[in-house]
């Protein structure tokens, strides 16, 4: 009974802290814009199965992608064992899901195997980060804290797998020596248990209890670290893929406020003319964190900082400042900075800083070719160019700020009705000396 009370207290504290954090993040979404409606649920479900659960984009880098897929699939399988541990902790039971029979044996065997495979994968990931120079892990946006964050998260995952295997070994060993029934199948732990045969059943049961508590406490701690870590994608990646923008990558959406003005100009008698006098003036494009649509902010929270986007960006590869990963990280950092102040002082709060210039320079934005290589490569379908284009729209439409070549194009469109420097009357002069046979 004491174990149950302690477990209940720990669980309630964990849930309370977690929901406080999530509630805080959700409050920031109130300051974002509506964006696109979520429909075509069947198609979205298919994309989620293919990209998120199938890990298809990860396999574009087949070797390291395979190990990453093992970690993801391992988490999916081990989740069932974690649910059982919560039930056992609350009910004071042991192996509460054992009545599932064959299904339970399959789940336990899969979890035991994946615990070993995930541990191997994490060791490989840590070795790559600590002992090898992987170019896509570097960049001006990758501060020292980013590397520390990744190493801490990977170390916790490794400890989770070691404690899970230790728990299973203790369980199998104690039950074998005492002649009791082993509930479930544990292929890897059964192979390792003989190495612990020198311990008594009581000592092995003690190992089981210590590893049980270590594992569940690490899960609770990890769950509350994740929202403050780049590994928040553990929670966010699957929903983010489900919420993927389904239009072709190259399609740029029209701005509703511009469309409204054009329709009003072409037909003043339309319903668009009936706008209330006190309607606030809408900003064109994105200047700061509160100007983005909710999906942009969701993307930034989901970003794994893996660098696959930046590694294929032609602008970055040719030495320009643009890094698609940095764009997402900057939006997340800016909302983290300004969000609490807007919660306290209202949406109109101004701290004399903004996403553009204080975080992202104009040079970065104009370096983008909108080729969509970053969005194509992203393993969780983040769409970087939509945010970049919206920030460029702000620069052009609100500040008339653009590179000289673009300004010349804009002037030609305004004066000549076309991007070229020739007037409409002179546009066909090149045809004068052409003989056309009829």
CB atoms within 10 A of CB 274: 7
Which tens digits make up the pLDDT trace of 314-330? 999 999 999 999 999 99
428, containing H or E segment? none
DSSP string, 124-176: HHHHHHHHS--GGG-STT--HHHHHHHHHHHHHHHHHHHHHHHHHHHHHHHHH
Question: What DSSP state is assigned to residue 401?
Answer: -
CA gap 142, 132 in Å, rounded: 16
CB atoms within 10 A of CB 74: 24
* 427 vs 61: CA distance, rounded Å: 50
What are the C-alpha distances in Å from 85 to residues 89, 102, 220, 322? 6, 19, 12, 46
What's the CA gap between 26 and 32, in Å, rounded?
10
Report the pLDDT value the prediction gives residue 315, as an integer from 0 to 100: 95
Distances (CA, A) of 339 to 32, 35, 169, 332, 351: 10, 19, 47, 10, 11
Rounded average pLDDT over 379-383: 94
- Candidate from 81-85, 173-177, 256-260 with smallest mean pLDDT: 256-260
CA atoms within 13 A on the CB side of 431: 5
Q: Are 264 and 337 in contact (CB under 8 A)?
A: no
Task: Give one DSSP letter per residue of 62-78, joined into a string.
Answer: HHHHHHHHHHHHHHHHH
Q: What confidence tens digit (pLDDT) does each residue in 278-309 have?
A: 556 678 899 999 999 999 999 999 999 999 99
How does residue 277 score in pLDDT terms, banded at 50, 70 and 90? low
Of 136, 127, 397, 130, the residue nearest 281 (C-alpha): 397
SS3 275: coil
pLDDT tens per residue, range 321-362: 999 999 999 999 999 999 999 999 988 899 999 999 999 999
Domains and CATH numbers, the chain: 2-30+61-233 (1.20.950), 256-424 (1.10.1060)
For residue 33, give the 3-state DSSP assignment.
strand
Query: Which region holds residue 409: left if phi is over 0, alpha if psi is between -120 and 50, else beta?
Result: alpha
pLDDT at position 157:
95
Contact 53, 237 (CB under 8 A): no
Q: How far apart are CA 91 and CA 203, in angstroms?
A: 24
Measured at the CA of 298, the angle between CA 392 and CA 30, to 5 degrees, comes to: 90
- Rounded Cα distance between 374 and 382, Å, is 8
For 241-263, what is the mean pLDDT?
86
For residue 53, the 8-state DSSP code is I
Q: Left (φ > 0), alpha (ψ -120 to 50) or beta: where does 132 sit?
A: beta
Cβ neighbours of 242 (radius 10 Å): 17
Given a contact cutoff of 8 angstroms between Cβ atoms, the answer to whether 361 and 321 are in contact is: yes
The model's confidence at residue 77, banded by pLDDT at 50, 70 and 90, is very high
92 conformational bin, left if phi > 0, alpha if psi -120 to 50, beta if neither:
left
Least Cα distance to 155 among 91, 230, 222 occurs for 222
- Total-model pTM: 0.87
- The pLDDT of residue 275 is 56
């Amino acid at each position: 009974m004491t174990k149950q009370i302690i477990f209940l207290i720990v669980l309630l504290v964990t849930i309370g802290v977690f929901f406080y954090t999530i509630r805080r993040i959700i409050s920031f979404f109130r300051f974002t814009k509506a964006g696109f409606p979520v429909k075509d649920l069947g198609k979205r479900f298919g994309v989620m199965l293919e990209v998120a659960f199938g890990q298809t984009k990860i396999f574009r880098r087949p070797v390291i992608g395979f190990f990453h897929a093992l970690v993801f699939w391992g988490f999916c399988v081990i989740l069932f064992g974690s649910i059982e541990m919560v039930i056992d902790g609350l009910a004071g039971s042991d192996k509460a899901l054992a009545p599932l029979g064959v299904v339970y044996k399959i789940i336990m065997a899969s979890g035991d195997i994946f615990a070993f495979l995930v541990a191997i994968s994490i060791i490989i990931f840590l070795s790559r980060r600590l002992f090898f120079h992987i170019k896509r892990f570097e960049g001006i946006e990758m501060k020292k804290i980013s590397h520390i964050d990744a190493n801490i998260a990977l170390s916790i995952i490794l400890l989770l797998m070691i404690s899970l295997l230790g728990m299973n070994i203790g369980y199998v060993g104690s039950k074998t020596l005492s002649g009791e029934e082993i509930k479930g199948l544990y292929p890897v732990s059964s192979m390792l248990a003989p190495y612990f045969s020198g311990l008594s059943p009581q000592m092995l049961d003690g190992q089981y209890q210590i590893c049980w508590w270590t594992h569940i406490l690490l899960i609770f701690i990890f769950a509350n670290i994740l929202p403050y870590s780049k590994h928040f994608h553990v929670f966010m990646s699957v929903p983010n893929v489900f919420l993927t923008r389904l239009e072709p990558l190259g399609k740029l959406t029209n701005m509703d406020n511009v469309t409204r003005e054009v329709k009003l100009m072409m037909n003043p008698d339309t319903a668009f003319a009936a706008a209330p006098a006190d309607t606030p003036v809408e900003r064109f494009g994105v200047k700061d964190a509160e100007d983005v649509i909710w999906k942009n902010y969701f993307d930034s929270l989901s970003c794994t900082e893996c660098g696959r986007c930046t590694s294929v960006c032609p602008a970055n590869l040719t030495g320009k400042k643009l890094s698609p990963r940095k764009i997402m990280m900057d939006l997340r950092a800016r909302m983290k900075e300004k969000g609490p102040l807007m919660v306290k002082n209202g949406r109109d709060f101004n701290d004399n800083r903004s996403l553009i210039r204080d975080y992202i320079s104009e040079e970065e934005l104009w370096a983008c070719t909108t080729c969509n290589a970053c969005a194509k490569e992203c393993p969780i379908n983040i769409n970087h160019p939509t945010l970049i284009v919206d920030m460029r729209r702000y620069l052009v439409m609100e500040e008339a700020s653009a590179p000289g070549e673009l300004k010349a194009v804009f002037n030609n469109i305004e004066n000549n009705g076309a991007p070229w420097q020739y007037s409409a009357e002179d546009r066909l002069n090149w045809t004068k000396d052409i003989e056309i046979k009829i």
